[in-house]
Structure 1
Amino acid sequence: MNMVKRIEEYADILNLPRPEPKRHFRMERAKRAAQFAPFAALTGYEEVIEKTARIHEQHLEESNREEDEDCWEIRP
């Protein structure tokens, strides 16, 4: 199945004016942009991620410190 289309196939509609809605007004650009702008869907999510990262970093630091101490421990 060939999905590639040449621009010549659309030559008859390329320069047509954009259709205007008949039943409602077109939405303002600012409102349309706000509708698709990113938003905080999960309130507090960033704080939870930061807290989890801190806990894991502390755990890694502690385990690295313990490994370092074990390396220098003299065993009989």
Structure 2
Amino acid sequence: MQEVTVKFKSAKTLEALLDLAKKFDMVIETKVPVQKKRDGDESQIPITFAEHPDVTTLAGIRKGREINPDDLREKAWGGRL
């Protein structure tokens, strides 16, 4: 069996490849779990552990959100600090 490696950034691309695979009797092995998008949820980012992680996929994750270190500590630790 011949193999091809395809790299992509969008989860929509994976969904399209899986649909295409069904039509042409192909097998697609994924390292990233396939996630169905929830209605109105645009913020799902598949995160996996890798030998050479690409941290640029997290760029802009906090865009448009007011977050400061004190608030993060309070949410994470509550009154335990």
Per the TM superposition, whether the score is higher than 0.5 is no
- Give the helix-richer structure, 1 or 2: 1
Larger Rg over CA atoms: 1
- So what's the TM-score if we normalise by structure 2? 0.24
- RCO higher in 1 or 2 (8 Å CA, sep ≥ 6)? 2
